[in-house]
Amino acid sequence: MRRLPIVFLILTLAGCIPHGEAPREPPRAEAPLHAGHDQASPLQCHIDLAREGVRFRALPDQIFGGGCSALNSVQLLDMGTPVTNLRAMTCPLARQFARWSREAVQTAADQWLRSRVVRIESMGSYSCRGLNGQPGARLSEHAFANAVDVSAFVLADGRRITVQAGWNGEDERVRAFLRAVHQAGCRRFSVGLSPDSNAYHYDHMHFDMGRGPYCR
Ligand SMILES: [Zn+2]
């Protein structure tokens, strides 16, 4: 492991490399979908992001009060579709989020809405808080920058599909689209929560890389 610092420097710089200039590595087996608290392979995660043409910035590890932290985290700069309100995300979460948004979200939008998603609206990733925002509860994966909340999708045709209005709304194609992206999220993240999970999620989908799998 003596070469680690050099490799790390190279990979940190890789976060600034534009599309198509990712470090060349021999092909590897696909990483498991549920990487969980994947602190063991931060370098591999950076390689994966760079190879997939995602521009990102590696963030310094941060330990906050109250047991909260953001370790092995990145900021996504460009993965094709702009996303609002995204800052620190653990690298495994960011990797799955990029794949989900590029593959599942666009496929579902094409299939169900005959359009493309041009912006994803999030309600953020890192937040030092308990489960469901309850004080005294076990810390949420948000407290580790290991969760993201998605509230809406803006389409190329101008429509804005919100989880709050659309999940149980009148448009069955919108309902199908939202359920498709939620189900696809459940396959990529450890946990996927929708408005069907509990009242706290009436206006967003929650995805995290904590303990799972759990999909509701
Ligand atoms: Zn959440």
pLDDT digits (tens, 9 = 90+) for 195-208: 999 999 999 999 99
* The token pair that represents 108 in the structure block: 């579902």
Mean pLDDT for the chain overall: 85
**In this predicted structure, what is the pLDDT of residue 134?**
81
**In this predicted structure, what is the pLDDT of residue 5?**
42
Task: Report how far residue 3's alpha carbon sits from residue 1's, in angstroms, rounded to the nearest whole number.
Answer: 5
Helices 91-99 and 42-51 pack at an angle, to 10 degrees, of 30
Task: Report how far residue 20's alpha carbon sits from residue 131's, in angstroms, rounded to the nearest whole number.
Answer: 40
Distance 209 CA to ligand 1 centre (A): 11
Distance 126 CA to ligand 1 centre (A): 9
Distance 193 CA to ligand 1 centre (A): 8
Distance 71 CA to ligand 1 centre (A): 18
Range 21-42 average pLDDT: 42
Distance 161 CA to ligand 1 centre (A): 19
**In this predicted structure, what is the pLDDT of residue 29?**
35
A 10 A CB-CB count for 166 gives 21
Distance 17 CA to ligand 1 centre (A): 30
- In this predicted structure, the answer to whether residue 30 has a pLDDT above a threshold of 80 is no
E strand spans, 60-189: 62-63, 69-70, 73-78, 83-84, 89-90, 117-124, 147-155, 160-162
Higher pLDDT residue, 185 or 3? 185
